[in-house]
Amino acid sequence: MNKSLKIFIVCAVTAVTIATGLWLWQKQNKPPLPGQIAEKTYISLKPQPVINYNKPEAITEKRKAKYGLKKGVDIVVKSDESFRVGDLTVSMQEIRDKILLKSGDIIEKDIESGKTAPDNNIEEFGIYVVHSGDNLWTIHFEFLKDYFTRKGIAISPLADEPNRFGYSSGVGKLLKFSEKTVCIYNLKEGKIDVDINLIFPLSKIVVYNMSRIFALLDHIDYQHVNKIQFDGETIWITSEQ
């Protein structure tokens, strides 16, 4: 075998080896074609608890008792839970996102899944299920009465009525302000609503952010409740003791 033939064979073997190596490398790193099933990755997910309004459970009464609430709310739901009313199951995170968007806050979502980015700040929300004949004023008044009963203060059924000069009482001002601090949510249509008038039974709820509403109420000294000022947008609570 002459020298030229040997060189040719060596070069040919080297070329085949390189080509085979490149083909194997491309095969390993080639993305799956449309329609192909990529290798599955299994992630262990914690089941999302569902709080059932239809069947009151011990956890519901325990959470309400923590806030001293009886009639003010029906259930207390955490932001990473869902709840069931009638035949509808709703994610509290979904409602929370819509409330934040309505108030102008920013929501972080994963681009691929479309899901809200994980949030370690778990909040609790009081849910009152609206029934025929309810109005927002009386709903808030029941909540307020529950709150002050917890503090050992009995509120007169007429505490929300104007005084003899026709001016709103302190409780009345609190109730007017409360209308701006809660959210009305339409379960049937999956959107924020503006009033509680019913079209279908169990179709709307009033949502209280428990930490925010209690942060406000805990600053109130009931002995000075009539000194509260409210201009339709902002409320001032006296610091006088």
| pLDDT per position as a tens digit, 95-108 | 999 988 876 544 44
User: Would 198 be classed as within a structural domain?
Assistant: yes
Q: How many domains does the chain have?
A: 1
User: Would 185 be classed as within a structural domain?
Assistant: yes
User: Would 194 be classed as within a structural domain?
Assistant: yes
Tokens (6 digits) for 25: 């490398």
User: Would 196 be classed as within a structural domain?
Assistant: yes
Q: Could you tell me the residue range of the domain that residue 195 belongs to?
A: 50-236
Q: Report whether 211 contacts 124 (CB < 8 A).
A: yes
Q: Report whether 144 contacts 229 (CB < 8 A).
A: no
In the chain, the percentage of residues whose pLDDT exceeds 90 is 30
| pLDDT per position as a tens digit, 227-236 | 666 665 666 6
User: Would 6 be classed as within a structural domain?
Assistant: no
User: Would 44 be classed as within a structural domain?
Assistant: no
User: Would 135 be classed as within a structural domain?
Assistant: yes
User: Would 176 be classed as within a structural domain?
Assistant: yes
The whole-angstrom separation of Cα 73 and Cα 61 is 11
